[in-house]
Each structure stands twice: as structure tokens, then as C-alpha cells.
Amino acid sequence: MSNSEHVIVAVDAMGGDNAPSVVLEGVAAALEEDQNLEVVLVGPADIVEPFAASHARCTAQAASEVIAMDEHPAEAVRKKKDSSIVVGCRLVKEGAAQGFFSAGSTGACLAAATLVVGRIKGVSRPALCSVIPSPAAPVVMSDIGANADCKPEYLVQFAQMASIYAEKIVGIENPRVGLLNIGSEDTKGSQFAQQTFALMKEKVPNFAGNAEGNDILPANFDVIVTDGFTGNVVLKTIEGTSKTLFGALKDVMMGSFTSKLGALALKGGLSDLKARVSADTYGGAPLLGVKGACLVGHGSSNPAAIKNGVHATASVVRNRVTDLIAEAVTK
């Protein structure tokens, strides 16, 4: 991936639990690291205008409304036409920006990207995709929650779209696709999984068979495909398991004087491991299948996660992921 191509990314100044301060810090870092990046910062004028005035390659786009995390996504998108999320997506739709990044409400971003930016022709359902930060190797999973109810043919497209993302953005050559299922044999699983297996075998050349829950974090497959219900539950299960285990480990380390000394000796390696399994590394979940690069960051994103999310959005643009998806799904 080269950064030599000039890219314009719209960024939601109001997205995330600690917006706007964390977003502004992340955008400043992103601009500094990528001299061919231009940011259109979207949000209340009194926030975005002073920032744009004091940063090179940054322009301000006023948006008077904000969609809160707990609002009903589709309703909020319909009602708040001047919200930072809807305005950001409109900039992409109108060509004023090539991509949009927000650490705000995932549901609202999904709704706005689908309604305002629009689906790529031939894509049945845009899918949310996530790079699971495993200590073994990054794993791309899709769908992680955009589509709670799926048909087998949707998953074929999820596989095609996530494979392009894995190859072009995450840098995994010839990604191997696994269908999340409850047994490794071809005939295993629910009726839905069995039907999907047959279709994947026929239509996805890099399909490598069924993946089980314990294949995900060991990175036995590069791409894991599943419906948005299972994917969302699994992603949150990994987060919860990881958090609980690190918490219990901390209790062990703080248990006695000796263990505290031991913990001190491990400090560097442990911070390293924690960073490797942190969602912040990849900065955002791309919504694949819409006509533009739209990525959603974690609500709890820190400045580094925002920076990585903005870079990932630019990377999706530079690598023509949208065009590649359009080609793949019409084949």
C-alpha cells in the first residue's frame, strides 16, 4: 500500500465516547503521518472550524446535529438530516470525500451508509467486517452484526468482500475462507450452515471448509464468514473472554509481594501482548458493499485507534476496494 495518492476522508468529529477531543487528536496524528491525506472534519461549527483553521489539509463541514449511541439507528438517520453521520455520508455520496470514518453509533453509520451512500450494484446486503486481533495472526470476520438474519447467498458475498479486504488492506495473500460451523466435516451444522456450505463450495474458490469456534483465535483460517447474529455474539465473546482473563491475571499478579515482583519482570511483554490483542490496532470495522469507503470505529477508541481508522479508510480508497467488490460480486 502506497500513500502517494491524494485521498479525501470525511471524519465524524462527534463519534465515540470521548468525542470530540479524542477524535481531534487522532485526526491531527493521521494528517501528520500521511502527507497525502486530506480530512473533511464534520461536526458543530464551533468545534470543526477552529481545528480546520489550525491544521493543514483539513477543511471543516458544519453539521448541527449529533446522533447519540442509544438512539434508534434508522429513525435517527431519517430524522437528523444534519447530523455529523448523515452529513459525512452525504459528502461521500456527492464525491466531496472518498471515504467516511466515524467512531459513533455503528447502527446509525450502517443505516446512513446504506441509505445515503447506497449499495454497490449486485451486493445483496452490505456487511460489517472486523479484523480480530489475534496473537497468532490477524483474522478477518464478516458479518459481525449488520445482518442478523441472512440467506446463504449473502454469505457467499460476505466471503468475496472480506477476502478482498483481507488481501488488500490487511495484507494476507491468498486468504483462506472458513464458514463458521459446529463441526469440521462437510455435512455438519444447522440447515442454514449446510446450505451455505454447498453454495460456498460452488462459488468461492478460496473456500477452505468449515471453521469451528476454536479455529478463530488460533487463526486457522484467514477469513471467517458467518451471519451477523453469530458473528456479533462471537466477537463480543472474544472481547469478554479476553478482558476477563486479563483481569484475573492482574489479580494473580497483585496477589502477593512475590507475585508483584514477578509481574514487574513481565510488564513489557504483557503490554506488548495486550496491544497485539487490542481492537485499537486495526482502528475500524469496514462496512463492505456500499459505494464508498465507510469504516466504523469502536466507541471507546483512543486517539491511536482513530488515527488507524482514518488511515484504514484512506487505504480502502487507495486500494480500490469498492471497485474490486463491484467486480467480484457481478462475476
Q: How far is CA 244 from CA 153, 255, 273, in A?
A: 36, 16, 15
Task: Out of 18, 124, 134, 278, point to the residue binding a second copy (CB under 8 A).
Answer: 134
Task: Out of 49, 71, 212, 327, point to the residue binding a second copy (CB under 8 A).
Answer: 212
Binding residues for a second copy, rule CB under 8 A, total 63
> Site mask, a second copy, residues 225-244, x = CB under 8 A?
-xxxxx-xxxxxxxxxxxxx
| Smallest distance from a second copy to CB 178, Å | 12
Element (H, E) at 17: none
Distance of CA 55 to the CA centre of its chain: 26
Segment interacting with a second copy, rule: CB under 8 A, options 22-30, 164-172, 223-231, 289-297: 223-231
Beta partners for 130?
Answer: 141
Question: Residue 175, preceding bond cis, omega within 30 degrees?
Answer: no
Closest to a second copy by CB, 1 or 261 = 261
- Rg of the chain's alpha carbons, rounded to an integer? 20
Task: Give the HSE-up count for residue 192: Cα atoms under 13 Å, Cβ half-sphere.
Answer: 17
Rounded CA gap, 122 and 124, in Å? 6
Task: Out of 5, 17, 33, 149, point to the residue binding a second copy (CB under 8 A).
Answer: 149
Q: Applying CB under 8 A, does 249 fall inside the site for a second copy? A: yes
* E-assigned strand segments in 122-214: 127-132, 139-142, 177-180, 207-211
Closest to a second copy by CB, 53 or 249 = 249
* Pair 316, 120: CB distance under 8 Å: no
Task: Out of 9, 180, 223, 294, point to the residue binding a second copy (CB under 8 A).
Answer: 180
Q: Applying CB under 8 A, does 39 fall inside the site for a second copy? A: no
Rounded CA gap, 72 and 304, in Å? 29
Collect all residues with Cβ–Cβ distance below 8 Å to 201 and sequence separation of at least 6.
207
Task: Out of 16, 104, 145, 292, point to the residue binding a second copy (CB under 8 A).
Answer: 145
| Smallest distance from a second copy to CB 27, Å | 28
Closest to a second copy by CB, 30 or 234 = 234
| Smallest distance from a second copy to CB 156, Å | 19
* Pair 85, 112: CB distance under 8 Å: yes
Closest to a second copy by CB, 114 or 232 = 232
Closest to a second copy by CB, 174 or 187 = 187
How many residues would you count in the chain? 331
* Pair 286, 165: CB distance under 8 Å: yes
* Pair 92, 285: CB distance under 8 Å: no
- Give the footprint of a second copy on residues 273-292 (CB under 8 A): 273, 276-277
Closest to a second copy by CB, 81 or 276 = 276
Interface residues with a second copy (CB under 8 A) are 134-136, 145, 148-149, 180-182, 189-193, 212-218, 226-230, 232-249, 251-253, 255-256, 258-259, 261-266, 269-270, 272-273, 276-277
